[in-house]
Structure 1
């Protein structure tokens, strides 16, 4: 008797491409406040990066992951109530942050 294969939850799936991962990424960011915290963190990263280059104070680079991940993780832990995809898919998750910001700024997804 053959056992029926059970489908893996999306969070357990081994994504082969970013295009395959991004719908899952968006499903982990349905809370408006969480998404907005992601946007704030990403925009703050850009501001800190620009200020770092402008002032040539390279020690400011230490603030980049704190700014970016601090806001995003607060969104996950306090509003989404889920575990950030960064822990399992660091590169795809990093890419997802920027694509989600672009999609919000261009009106493809709700800001």
Structure 2
């Protein structure tokens, strides 16, 4: 992606296509799950070391998927907030079993 997309509604299908392979999405789900666990531990323990652990867990697995599976550049570098929101949106859709429909609408066959 050479330039910024004009709206989040234009970004969302692009984001899904950048996560077209199931293994990439699996790494994202693993990283997001670990990040959420770290944030819960931060709240429960009050230990602020869980915050950087959450960031590392969330981004490390996602970027591994982009570099080694998708062979693309994470959308985080151009649209950091939309990318973060989309990661949680994709995660929620996966947890609720509605991700396949979104993938189809974005032109992907899950």
Which range, TM-score by smaller chain? Answer: 0.7 to 0.9
C-alpha distance in structure 2 between counterparts of 1:26 and 1:96, whole Å: 9
Is it true that 1:99 corresponds to 2:84 in the alignment? no
**Superposition RMSD in Å:** 1.4
- Answering whether residue 15 of structure 2 is matched by residue 25 of structure 1, we say yes
Alignment partner, residue 83 of structure 1: 73
Aligned to 1:48: 38
Indicate the residue corresponding to 1:65 in structure 2: 55
Q: Which has the larger radius of gyration?
A: 1
CA distance in 1, matches of 2:44, 2:58: 19
Using the TM superposition, give the Cα deviation of residue 106 of structure 1 relative to its aligned residue in structure 2, in angstroms. 1.6
Question: What's the counterpart of residue 107 of structure 2?
Answer: none
Shift of 1:44: 0.7
- Once residues 93 and 10 of structure 2 are traced to their aligned partners in structure 1, the CA distance between those partners, rounded to angstroms, is 16
| Count of aligned pairs | 101
Q: TM-score, normalised by structure 1?
A: 0.84
Cα offset, 1:14, TM superposition: 2.7
